Amino acid sequence: MSRRPSTTQPNRGASPGSQGADQFSLALDGDDAPTSPTAAEAGALTRDTLLAALSLWVALGWLRQLDRHFALFLLERDPAADPLVGLAAALVSHQVGRGHVCLSLSRVLDAPRSALSLPPLENEGESESAGAVVLPESLLDPVTPARWFDALIGSTTVAEATVAEGLATPLVVDGDRVYLRRYWQAESGVAARLRQRLGPPLAVDEGVSTRLQALFTGNRREQGEPDWQRVACALALRQRLTIISGGPGTGKTTTVTRLLALLQEQSLSGGGEPLRIRLAAPTGKAAARLSESIAGAVGRLEVSDVVRAAIPQEAQTLHRLLGARPDTRHFRHHAEAPLSLDLLVVDEASMVDLEMMAALLDAMPAEARLILLGDKDQLASVEAGSVLGDLCAGAGDAGYSEATRDYLQSIAGEPLPVAAETNPLADHVAMLRRSFRFRADSGIGALARAANAGDGRDFTRLLKSGFQDVETLDIDAAAFERAVVTGYRPLFEALLGGADVASILALQARFQVLCALRRGPWGVEGLNDRIARALWQQGWISRTDGWFAGRPVMVTHNDPQLGLYNGDLGLTLADDAGRLRVCFPQGDGTRQVLPSRLDAAATAFAMTVHKSQGSEFDHVLFALPARANPIVTRELIYTGITRARSRLTLALAQGGNDERTLREAIARQVVRDSAIAERLLSPPGSSVPRDSSGSET
């Protein structure tokens, strides 16, 4: 049994005997500096002890300055508010910064440190210094959920969900959860729009069964296993919302291409008009990959030329689809100006954050079909929310209703086991299980399965098994530079040899260095500098900073005027006159931009796993930090590994990343706080249950 953490932590920088407000001097500024004792000494939470604690947490990196200022803002707007309102404001703001949609009061009271970016505190029992750091549990120890809830709804800055729509309070309390208003509105809107799509099933022509069987006849499957691709296609034929989840190589785009062929055949039969179909993805790279995958799948279809021509093969980013407007969060398409389409396919849906999903659903015509493709086990979006993961909870159980199982039996010829539990959402989710990319002897596939299953012991065992497509190296040794030079050699030989732009950009997708962190020697900043020096020593680049031919760059902010969006990856090339251009592959060719026009771009010899989502590379060199880090989780390791198509190199620090560290990382799973699923399954207009909560372990 784990023991309860102590309420104070030794402050090694304090002199013996330092007490009270003196311990906060490093973090306070201006008139905010309190002189009152700590919460533990006072026995109750006061404004002064709250401000002191928030300031110290900012100094320790546990909280952002933005979160502290938001708490101050609310307390200034309501001077009579309970200090618990300020604490909730700081914590919910911080949770949003970490990707959560809301703050669960019961979750925080059960695990007070969970709402802060608080790394593991070592040697909690030591007391060589009398100075102490106030931990969140010392502030919350006497607080109950009811006490906190009453404090919140007693403030003029907070509204309860049942009456919040007509008010303009910064915070909204809905059941057990506290929201920033915009995220409460976004979550409520997403749930309402999705609920409309969970209506009665659409009519399906029984004659489609024969055609469905013909399209999927050649599929390989294990004996006794349903053809999940056929199940997914049959499921999508009769509804306006379908979620198809599956790992790399499970055939998501193949399945949806066959579905589009079936739907277009039906629409064109008897001289009808083709469906207006659009393809989209969150980033430019993901859109380019979707375009390539759909084009390949269409070319293999056994359909008429008329049907083939009716299937679109060019995808675009969601921002371009919705019509992003410069210098605003709004789009040209919305409920009053909806998209002109009958069916929309969105790939890499795990990357779509809550607010983008709200904007997308708002712009969808009510009668149009929406198909979301993605891998539910990948990292969630960088921004707040994990909509795909929320919708796919329990997808592996195939908890279809009796009516849906009967339909799948009659149309797809696929008998399915009876699930222990069913719900209306499950009838809209299909999970593809069989990977056609990784062979049985693939180390990449085996490691991905072990990481996804949370089996750290199996993962470390597999690393020693001698797979041909997996190797490890010491990130601190010269082996790292040798691996980088070898990986980038084809690209720079083509670049220096005068190859055409398209060929060079294709080679850019052959090799990529990924890492977990942004800062530090094993993060993006440290590794980009190290890689640039290695390439400069080879004579392949002319400098290691600034702009130079051969510099890969990633766009870090949306720029609708240039048609470039966060995550787009390009390469800096020189023309015959030596003038530099940054070239970005796009569905309609290559976009070339002057470096001076790129206000938000970063060197991308190495990129974070988060930024790599939506991309795949033949060879991935994946660098993991030397010590345990809360950022390194099961999802991050799984996502990093599955960016590799044919070869994976794990760069591990000698003396770090031992078996225990890797096992702990794979055991660490992130589940973001949200209430999408509860809202979908609750009556319209009701609040989420008071006792519901998310978790992050």
- 315-356 residue pLDDT tens: 988 988 999 887 777 899 999 999 999 999 999 999 899 999
Q: Is the pLDDT of residue 422 over 80?
A: no
Q: 619 and 510 in contact (C-beta within 8 Å)?
A: yes
Distance CA 289, CA 310 (A): 20
State yes or no: 633 annotated in a binding site: no
State yes or no: 464 annotated in a binding site: no
Residue 88 buriedness (CB in 10 A; 0-12 / 13-18 / 19+): buried
Place of tokens 């990343």: 657
**Pairing label, strands 343-346, 369-374:** parallel
In this prediction, residue 685 carries a pLDDT of 57
Dump pLDDT digits (tens) for 441-491.
789 999 999 998 889 889 989 988 889 999 999 888 899 999 999 999 999
Q: What percent of the chain has pLDDT over 90?
A: 42
Q: 601 and 555 in contact (C-beta within 8 Å)?
A: yes
Would the CA dihedral through 480, 482, 483, 485 be positive or negative? positive
CA distance to 283, 337, 589, per residue, from 320 (Å): 10, 15, 16
Dump pLDDT digits (tens) for 35-90.
333 434 434 789 999 999 999 999 888 899 999 999 999 999 999 999 999 999 99
Q: What is the mean pLDDT of residues 424-441?
A: 81
Token pair of 67 as six digits: 């979160």
| CA proximity to 679, closest of 391, 439, 448 | 391
Q: What is the mean pLDDT of residues 2-15?
A: 32
Q: Is the pLDDT of residue 217 over 80?
A: no
Q: Is the pLDDT of residue 314 over 80?
A: yes
Q: Is the pLDDT of residue 572 over 90?
A: yes
State yes or no: 144 annotated in a binding site: no
State yes or no: 43 annotated in a binding site: no
Token pair of 603 as six digits: 């060197």
* Residue 167 CB coordination number (10 Å): 12
Q: What is the mean pLDDT of residues 162-190?
A: 91
Helix axes of 634-641 and 659-667: crossing angle, nearest 10 degrees: 100
State yes or no: 544 annotated in a binding site: no
CA R_g for the chain: 27
State yes or no: 520 annotated in a binding site: no
Distance CA 65, CA 639 (A): 30
Query: Strand, coil or helix: what is 31?
Result: helix
DSSP tag of 549? T
**Residue 571 bridge partners (DSSP):** 552, 583
State yes or no: 296 annotated in a binding site: no
Domain architecture of the chain: domains with CATH: 47-116+136-194 (1.10.10.1020), 207-218+225-431 (3.40.50.300), 443-655 (3.40.50.300)
For residues 203 and 326, which has the higher predicted lDDT (pLDDT)? 203
Q: Is the pLDDT of residue 239 over 50?
A: yes
Specify the DSSP element, H or E, that contains 57.
helix 47-59
| CA proximity to 556, closest of 547, 566, 548 | 566
Confidence of residue 597 (pLDDT cuts 50, 70, 90): very high
Q: Is the pLDDT of residue 30 over 80?
A: no
Confidence of residue 222 (pLDDT cuts 50, 70, 90): low
Token pair of 357 as six digits: 């999903």
State yes or no: 249 annotated in a binding site: yes
In this prediction, residue 574 carries a pLDDT of 92
Residue 423 buriedness (CB in 10 A; 0-12 / 13-18 / 19+): middle
In this prediction, residue 438 carries a pLDDT of 75
Q: Is the pLDDT of residue 492 over 90?
A: yes
Q: Is the pLDDT of residue 600 over 60?
A: yes
Distance CA 515, CA 532 (A): 16
| CA proximity to 284, closest of 253, 251, 314 | 314
Report the amino acid identity of residue 18.
S
Distance CA 224, CA 138 (A): 56
